[in-house]
Structure 1
Amino acid sequence: MQSLLLDNGTWDLVVDANRNLAVCTAPYAVLQDVATAVRIWLGEVLYDVRLGIGYDTDIFTNASNAVVLAREVERIASEVAGVTAAQCTLTRPGQKRRLTGVIRIQLNDGTTSDVQF
């Protein structure tokens, strides 16, 4: 499995030493694809508007719905090719209107890795 390599800081495309678009392979490609998938809002992907987290639902109405959001993140992460299980832990830094988290991913080969979003 290959994916276009994205810069960790800007989430933009990267070029290799020959000035071609850089690619990455599994397992890093799977982890990067998970991080990308959970950053998408429902309807944002023009070629498939069914992808993404539904922002217009009741998920963001109060703190008790953080569990619902975590389950939605886990569902989306589990749908990425190469992932067999996902467990999301949400964190809330001191800034308002900002929610981050860590997803523990189990890959097809049985290894686990953490993905921050």
Structure 2
Amino acid sequence: MKTISLHLEASSWDITLDDLGNIKTTQNPYAVAQDVACACSTFLGEAWYDTTLGIPYFERILGHWPGTQLITSKLQSEALKLSYVQSASGTVVIGRSSRLASGVLTITDTNGVSSTVNL
């Protein structure tokens, strides 16, 4: 399956123009990884037309001590909601003193191409 998405600039996460002045697009595997990153950044209820999409950051994660298993499973399930993602596995690490969470999500699209998304 060929996936095309708007190219988001890594530094600003905003759309940009190509050399001809058109809105820049991107294809597999970058488009799939970018779409997964966007899906995992969406708060539950934030998408107006489908309020079931998103991670329950306010309800279950922010201000709580959710554990890495909950965060990892929510990120994986959100990635798998995309029809062109075949599998997703992740690792999340939370620093107790810094209270910062970081991790990596490894995804495989329906073409069998693997990509990693830093969280």
Question: TM-score normalised to the size of structure 2?
Answer: 0.85
**C-alpha offsets along residues 11-57 of structure 1, whole Å, 9 cap, x if unaligned?**
11111011111001122111110011000101112232221001233
Whether 1:62 and 2:65 are equivalent positions in the alignment is yes
Q: Secondary structure at the match of 2:58?
A: coil
Report runs of 4+ in structure 1 exceeding 6 Å deviation: none
Alignment pair present for 1:13 and 2:15: yes
Q: Compared with structure 1, are the counterparts of its residues 46 and 95 closer, same or farther at alpha carbon in structure 2 (3 Å cutoff)? A: farther
Percent identity reads 32
Q: For residue 78 of structure 2, what is the amino acid of its counterpart?
A: I
Per-residue Cα deviation, 1:41-77 (whole angstroms, up to 9, x for no partner): 01112232221001233334215x2211110000001
Q: Quick one: distance in 1 between partners of 2:53 and 2:114?
A: 24
28, 48, 51: which one pairs with 1:49? 51
Q: Residue 68 of structure 2 contacts residue 93 of structure 2 at CA under 8 Å; is this kept in 1?
A: no
State the superposition RMSD in angstroms. 2.0
- Residue number in structure 2 paired with 1:39: 41
Say if 1:83 and 1:107, in contact at 8 Å, map to a contact too: yes
Asked if the contact 1:59–1:66 (Cα under 8 Å) also holds between the matched residues in 2, the reply is: no
> How many angstroms apart in 1 are the aligned matches of 2:26 and 2:97?
33
How far apart, CA to CA, are the structure 2 residues paired with 1:4 and 1:111?
19
Say which of 90, 93, 116 aligns to 1:91: 93
Amino acid at match of 2:92: L
Give 1:82 shift: 1.6
Counterparts of 1:65-80 in structure 2, within 5 Å, are: 65-80=67-82
Q: Where in structure 2 are there 5+ consecutive unaligned residues?
A: none
CA–CA distance in 1 between the matches of 2:80 and 2:115? 13
